[in-house]
């Protein structure tokens, strides 16, 4: 069975060209016309999807052949196509960067590419860059299915016209966005700020959507055919179990697919805030995902009630999974990049220290006693502990990566786990 739906993969020659802004503006522009928009993000990003979810009014899922698998991407896109009026997929890094690159993802998923180019320092070269990216290594079976181009950060209507006139006949003009510092997305060390921290995010997105309203971007792109595939059938291995999931400004890195996977396994999710709640919900297991605990050190240290509740949970032999920021908060202390020390939850001996230098980045997988789970790592801190690792994750080339620690049923690592990569192992991690 085939399901057709207008769709685009939005890519750029490099990071920082404005892909996220353009995708969010497109999503908002079409959503406010009454269209049902579904957005996907290539790669393991947590932050861009939060912005897209707000812009589109629906969750933004991740696509990555290494972490999620190609079959996972195909069925999620096909599922979205059954109810959506438009599918937007934001690429990662530059169009031809990574393995597989956004260009290869577009070819294998059958998605036409909308190329976003920062035109602030070019005019006639706009078309040359677009043509080169479209035909790069085409004779070796490469290239990219670029069908449209959009000029970002233009200085005037005349500047936009120069860019438009430079395009080759096989690349259509999709419009332009002006230079607008007030609409730019603020950033910090892990990328864009979380959506909840950008007070005027909706206004920024609306501002860019307004700028695209009178351009060809306001029209739906051609439909793409998706082969309908069934979602994986999961056994209810967590039926009757309640998983307490930390969710607030300090712990905000959740893949929608992870939450969906837990519910498909039969679990009931109970959300709580380690910043605000003094007690855990009644639960069988706890999941502390990543986020920014280092930015909320005083508040976390002051909440001695939740620390005591987490300690009691672990001492009772119940499962707790702590990922990246979640693990950092579990140590005895947490140190900011300026050297300030804050008490952690005291579940693991040791300390975490923020630093200005990147400490971990990349796709990884780990062979736990429960099974192999894929995921990724991205952090600017280092942790010191006397604990002996249970095991280490590995990169695709076999190199050793992040340590995984275990005390009783507490499992902790800098690794962010992608639960759908092995639902059975995930259930075993969180099942009492």
Catalytic residues: 324
**Contact predicate 89/76, CB 8 Å:** no
Residues contacting 410, CB < 8 A, separation 6+ = 314, 319, 320, 322, 330, 347, 348
Tokens read off for 286 = 């706890």
- The dihedral sign for the CA sequence 65, 234, 414, 335: positive
End-to-end, the C-alpha distance of the chain in Å comes to 41
- DSSP track, 387-400: PPPSEEEE-TTS-E
Is the bond leading into 100 cis (omega within 30 degrees of zero)? yes
DSSP track, 267-319: PEEEEE-TTT-SSPPS-SEEEE-BS-GGGGHHHHHH-HHHHHHHHHHHHTT--
Q: Is 357 exposed, middle or buried (0-12, 13-18, 19+ CB in 10 A)?
A: exposed
HSE of 429, CA atoms in CB hemisphere, 13 A? 28
For 164, which DSSP code?
H
d(CA 42, CA 100): 10
Three-state SS at 384: strand
């Amino acid at each position: 069975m085939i399901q057709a739906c207008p769709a685009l993969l939005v890519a750029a020659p490099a990071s920082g060209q404005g892909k996220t802004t353009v995708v969010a503006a497109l999503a908002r522009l079409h959503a406010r016309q009454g269209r049902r928009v579904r957005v996907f993000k290539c790669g393991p990003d947590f932050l861009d999807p939060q912005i897209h979810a707000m812009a589109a009014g629906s969750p933004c899922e991740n696509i990555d052949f290494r972490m999620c698998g190609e079959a996972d991407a195909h069925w999620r896109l096909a599922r979205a196509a059954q109810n959506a009026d438009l599918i937007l997929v934001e690429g990662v890094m530059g169009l031809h960067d990574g393995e597989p690159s956004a260009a290869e993802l577009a070819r294998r998923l059958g998605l036409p590419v909308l190329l976003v180019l920062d035109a602030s320092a070019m005019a006639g070269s706009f078309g040359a860059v677009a043509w080169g990216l479209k035909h790069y290594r085409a004779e070796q079976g490469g290239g990219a299915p670029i069908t449209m181009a959009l000029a970002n950060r233009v200085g005037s209507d005349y500047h936009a016209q120069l860019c438009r006139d430079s395009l080759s006949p096989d690349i259509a003009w999709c419009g332009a966005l002006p230079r607008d510092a007030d609409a730019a997305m603020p950033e910090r060390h892990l990328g864009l700020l979380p959506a909840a921290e950008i007070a005027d995010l909706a206004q920024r997105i609306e501002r860019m959507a307004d700028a695209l309203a009178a351009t060809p971007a306001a029209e739906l792109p051609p439909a793409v055919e998706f082969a309908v595939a069934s979602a994986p059938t999961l056994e209810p291995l967590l039926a009757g179990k309640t998983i307490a999931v930390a969710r607030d400004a300090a712990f905000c890195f959740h893949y929608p697919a992870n939450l969906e996977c837990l519910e498909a396994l039969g679990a009931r999710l109970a959300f709580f805030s380690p910043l605000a709640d003094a007690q855990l919900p009644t639960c069988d297991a706890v999941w502390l995902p990543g986020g920014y605990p280092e930015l909320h050190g005083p508040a976390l240290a002051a909440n001695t009630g939740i620390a005591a509740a987490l300690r009691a949970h672990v001492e009772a032999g119940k499962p707790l999974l702590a990922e990246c920021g979640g693990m950092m908060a579990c140590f005895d202390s947490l140190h900011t990049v300026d050297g300030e020390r804050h008490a952690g939850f005291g579940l693991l001996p040791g300390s975490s220290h923020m630093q200005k230098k990147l400490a971990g980045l990349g796709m990884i997988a780990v062979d736990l006693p429960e099974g192999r789970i894929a995921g990724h790592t991205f952090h600017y801190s280092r942790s010191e502990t006397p604990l002996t690792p249970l095991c280490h994750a590995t990169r695709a080339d076999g190199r050793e990566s992040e340590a995984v620690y275990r005390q009783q049923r507490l499992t902790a690592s800098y690794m962010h786990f992608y639960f759908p990569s092995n639902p059975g192992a995930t259930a075993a991690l969180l099942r009492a």
